Amino acid sequence: GKLRLFSSNAIPKSININEVDYETNEHWTNVTPSIVSLTDRSLHVHESHPVSILREMIEQKLNSTDKAFNIYNNFKPVVSVYDNFDSLGFPEDHPGRSKSDTYYVNDKHLLRTHTSAHEMKCFKDIKSDQSSSNSGRSGFLISADVYRRDEIDRTHYPAFHQMEGARIWKREKALNSNKEPQHIVQLRKDIKKLGDQLEKEETKLIVEDDKSLEGNPKQDYMTELEVELCQQHLKRSVELVVSEVFNQKITSMKNSNVADIPKELKVRWIKAYFPWTAPSWEIEVWWQGDWLEVCGCGLVREQVLLNSGFEKDSTIGWAFGLGLDRIAMLLFEVPDIRLFWTMDERFHTQFIKGKINPFVPYSKYPGTLRDVSFWLANDDNAIEVHENDVMEIVRNEGGDLVESVKLIDEFTSSKSGKKSLCYRINYQSMDRNVTNEEINEIQEKVRDELVNKYNVELR
């Protein structure tokens, strides 16, 4: 859905985020006060927050065998355009870069859209540990809040959480042809350890894996054997995370005598594309009748390793990026992603560090529907904008009272050639009753803003 924009609203000269002042840029700045207010919450490090409980569970599992991973949980959300996109080889015209999908602070800074923005920094840390012969670790886990302009509903929120993981191996040339190089020997050992751990879980994974690399080619600098082993290590590591998390859920269901306990865990590997990994995959988990997209991953492109200071041909490795919120919603039976951001104690007091228990709704408040219909301007000076811009107005005025926004009617008048749109907004609070007066006031502001920013003609 595209709408037409006339004037852009006034933006302040500078914006303060996490105690830093950023100069704004009239062509780029599109962060809003309601988004900025999320940037200092750091929910993923609040001990008893579901997202944090999940994060710790995964960190512990992955570091349980050989403590290979450095852990980073305190990176701030404003990053450079270079770190978020360029360093990872995103082409200039990649849609992820557009203002309709990404929150820009100015032309050089944005709210990270993924935790991959910190890969280079963390690879550099490993490299400098190696150089100082601080034996060091060979991987990292980064958890953080990430931001994307998106629609609003029960499972979509403009902020969510990811965990990035990576492992590398230093390559060694074989000393003689009878012996495999040390890193191959090491990889085989590491894979075996993961396999042994997976075997121990009570509910075993049933894995569907199309291993063909057709349309998902390997990098030239790696041998076929390296690709095969690195891929196995990556997939077994991600499977271990999935297995751990879902087995803990199944155990907690057994303890509370839930009837509908799954007897097996189906997962599937699908080919994917990311600019900084090759080959690349995504994993999905079958849960209560749906495939849940959990994680994207792949073998790290050598260019990223070179950008991070590793010598040519010296290193191979993998990376993954896992979405935490949807898994946390499922583990803790949280019906609406906005609950993670509520300030209501009745939500937060229900959870404790290290434990999975289902959320008990503390009360249900009715929603209130309001429609807004308008004619779009039909003028040569109009500027095209994305439907997300409309979502933004509603979100700005209504904040977390907005449960959903749906386009319910759309037609073009045969007489005037003008287009009419009707959006239905559901106002609903997770934690209190909202009054009609309050909603009318918000709805009035939404209508005003639509006129101010888009020059629409209200119906």
Q: Which residues bind ligand FA5 (CB under 6 A)?
A: 114, 116, 148, 150, 156, 160, 162, 164, 274, 277, 293-298, 319-321, 323, 325-326
Q: Which is nearer to ligand FA5, 78 or 294 (CB)?
A: 294
Q: How far is the CB of 149 from ligand FA5 (least distance, A)?
A: 10
CA 383 to each of CA 376, 378, 421: distance values in angstroms, whole numbers, following the listed order: 12, 11, 17
Which of residues 320 and 427 has its CB atom nearest to ligand FA5 in the complex? 320
**For residues 114 and 137, which CB has a smaller minimum distance to ligand FA5 in the complex?**
114
CB of 249 to ligand FA5, least distance (A): 16
Q: What's the half-sphere exposure (Cβ side, CA atoms, 13 Å) at 388?
A: 16
CA nearest neighbour of 165 among 71, 275, 61, 261: 71
Instruction: State residue 24 phi and psi, 5-degree precision.
Output: -90, 170
Smaller CB separation from ligand FA5, 148 or 453: 148
CB 399 within 8 A of CB 34: yes
State which residue has the least CB distance to ligand FA5. Answer: 323
Give the shortest CB-246-to-ligand FA5 separation in angstroms: 14
Give CA–CA dist 198/211, Å, rounded.
Answer: 20
Least gap, CB of 103 to ligand FA5 (angstroms): 13
Residue 259 CB, nearest approach to ligand FA5 (Å): 28
Smallest gap from residue 294 Cβ to ligand FA5 (A)? 5
Nearer to ligand FA5, 221 or 375 (CB): 221
Rounding to the nearest 10 degrees, give the CA dihedral for residues 279, 284, 285, 289: -150
Taking the least distance from each CB to ligand FA5, the nearer of 403 and 456 is 403
Site of tokens 């512990």: 60
Question: Hey, which residues does 287 pair with through a beta bridge?
Answer: 290
Minimum distance between the CB of residue 370 and ligand FA5, rounded to whole angstroms? 25
Residues contacting 297, CB < 8 A, separation 6+: 234, 238, 272, 277, 280, 281, 282, 283, 318, 319, 320, 321
3-state class of 35 per DSSP? helix
Residue number, 292 or 382, with CB nearest to ligand FA5 = 292
327 or 456: whose CB is closer to ligand FA5? 327
The contacts of residue 336 (CB under 8 Å, 6+ apart) are: 154, 403, 430
Tokens of 258: 């839930």
Burial 406-439 (b: 16+ CB within 10 A, else e): eeeeeeeeeeeeebbbebebbbbbbeeebeeeeb
CB of 43 to ligand FA5, least distance (A): 13
Give 282 or 374: the residue with its C-beta nearer to ligand FA5: 282
In this complex, which beta carbon is closest to ligand FA5, that of residue 287 or of residue 320? 320
Q: How far is the CB of 441 from ligand FA5 (least distance, A)?
A: 29
Copy the structure tokens of residue 76.
């701030």
Rounded to a whole number of angstroms, the minimum distance from the CB of residue 119 to ligand FA5 is 7
The residue (of 277 and 443) whose beta carbon lies closer to ligand FA5 is 277
**Residue listed under structure tokens 């609070």:** 429
Q: Beta-strand (E) ranges in 18-131? A: 20-23, 69-72, 78-80, 109-111
Sorted by sequence, the CB contacts under 8 Å of residue 40 that are 6+ apart come out as 18
Q: Find where tokens 């962060």 sit.
A: 31
Cβ distance 16 to 24 under 8 Å?
Answer: no
* Least separation in angstroms between CB 231 and ligand FA5: 13
